[in-house]
Structure 1
Amino acid sequence: MTAFGAVLFDCDGVLVDSESITNRVLCTMLNESGWAISQEECTRDFIGKTVRSQAAVIESHTGKPLTDDWMTEFYERRNTALRAELVAIDGALEAVKQIHELCGGRIACASGADRAKVEMQLEQVGMAAYFEGLVFSGHEMPRSKPFPDVYLAAAQALAVDPAQCLVIEDTVTGVQAGVAAGATVWGYFPADQGHASSEQLLDAGAACVFGHMGDLPAMFDAVRKAAASLTGGDGYEHEIQ
């Protein structure tokens, strides 16, 4: 058994309870633009994806181009709603604190969302200090999730082989990105989640699925201790040179 050298967290739906807020704003604006899409359909079709990556789909339903002005308004309305309503995922703040300590600070946030949103959200829920200088946005990569670019960038910044990284994800798209990076992925699947089933996360390549962020530190530490007992070491992988 091999321990993990770093933990890479997705943001939306893993650290912060933002997905329903963002998708509500998106659904409203799509309807205003002429696409009569339901909230359930919007969540199903857009969860884990960037809006711009779905431009062709949006334009085919609205009959209008997806303009920079439309995206600017979306970001403004989304951020206003997030500032008013956003909370951390239950147990996530304490989990981040403990994993940060257990992992010697080798954690990062690797999101498909734009950097301004990710950093705003982490600051709002009291997690920003644990990810200082280690926030990675798919918007700044050649390709966003389900491609591995954002996770590869995070692993490189931490000087840890991607194969020794643990990724925490809650969507099929995100799990696919972590697996493509060569990392081990644990799927977060709370009981009230509605956009992906545990079976879908496992089928996408998650090594396991867990239902509460408060369980993560003990799970991580159990792997570390099991690896240490087999190797006689400290249970951590050495950083790549």
Structure 2
Amino acid sequence: MSRAPFDAVLFDCDGVLVDSEPITNEVLRLMLGDLGWVMTPRECLRRFVGVAVADQTDLIEERTGVRITQAWLAEFRRRRSAELARRVAPVDGVTEALRAVVARYGERLACASGADRAKVQLQLDTTGLAPFFGDRVFSGMELARSKPAPDVYLQAADALGVDPRRAAVVEDSPAGVRAGVAAGARVLGYCPGGPASSTPADLLALGAATTFASMRELPALLGAPAPPPAVRPAGP
């Protein structure tokens, strides 16, 4: 087999591995509404996808007149986690894509999220994706800067012992693409469409090397064998 085009593959979590953004954002939208900032679901997604709520304290105060506290953030995370534990699911096709990527890269892949570790691990455990990553899970919230800063991708690449310039980053948000590009990686932008999705033009303008609309396309972009087609139950 020829050499893989990358030395490692680094995955974002929310919106790339798990379909969590609409769930998290609905909790956030309702709690911000209680503070006086009323938004449509689409507007909340546009403003908050890919960024940490804790980093938006100034913006929230500007729009509501309320300085959110650690207690408010803790309640947000409690409600969010309860909803995610009940409803979160893997992104369509990602389980098959990960099997193909693991067949090509082995343990040279990691999950590098801007979210807090408890949320990331909860989602990976709930969706059955945790075994693909083992202990190779990294949280930008544990670093001095989260996305769009490159720190979490640099940490993940260092832990895997690879030059970040030889890594592929799989991202779906503007903040995440900025982080991957700043790390020097080649960013593959996932744009499945829908209200939580960025457009290909948006991610390409920020430096993504290419975009794709289905996780079934990802293995080929990484030089991995294509996953077998999903088996659908026979009809009655």
Give TM-score scaled by structure 1 length: 0.89
Q: How many angstroms apart in 2 are the aligned matches of 1:116 and 1:192?
A: 27
Give the drift of 1:211. Answer: 0.6
Q: State percent identity of aligned pairs.
A: 50
Matches within 5 A, 1:143-158: 143-158=145-160
C-alpha distance after superposition, 1:84-138 (max 9, x if no partner): 1110000111111221221121000000000000001001111111111111101
2:65 to 63, 66, 80: 63
Once residues 196 and 40 of structure 1 are traced to their aligned partners in structure 2, the CA distance between those partners, rounded to angstroms, is 12
Q: For residue 218 of structure 1, report the CA deviation from its aligned partner.
A: 2.3
Specify the alignment match of 2:217 in structure 1: 215
- The structure 1 segments of at least 4 consecutive aligned residues displaced by more than 6 Å after TM superposition are none
**What is the correspondence of 1:70-89 to structure 2 with a 5 Å cutoff?**
70-89=72-91
Q: Which moved more, 1:160-169 or 1:126-135?
A: 126-135
Q: How far is 1:193 from its partner?
A: 4.9
Trace 1:87-98 onto structure 2 (pairs within 5 A).
87-98=89-100
Shift of 1:83: 1.1
Deviation at 1:40, TM superposition (A): 1.6
Deviation at 1:203, TM superposition (A): 0.4
Q: In the alignment, residue 109 of structure 2 is paired with which amino acid?
A: I
Query: Normalised by the size of structure 2, how large is the TM-score?
Result: 0.91
Number of matched pairs: 223
Partner SS, residue 13 of structure 1: coil
Matched residue, 1:38: 40
Corresponding letter in the other structure for 1:190:
P
Rounded Cα–Cα distance in structure 1 between residues aligned with 2:75 and 2:40: 20
Query: Within 5 Å, which residues of 2 pair with 1:105-120?
Result: 105-120=107-122
Deviation of 1:192 (Å): 2.7
Query: CA-atom RMSD, angstroms?
Result: 1.5
Select which of 192, 210, 219 maps to 1:190: 192
- Hey, what's the Cα distance between the residues in 2 that align with 1:72 and 1:198? 34
**What is the CA–CA distance in structure 1 between the aligned matches of 2:215 and 2:69, rounded to whole Å?**
38
Task: Kindly provide the amino acid, as one letter, of the partner of residue 36 in structure 2.
Answer: G
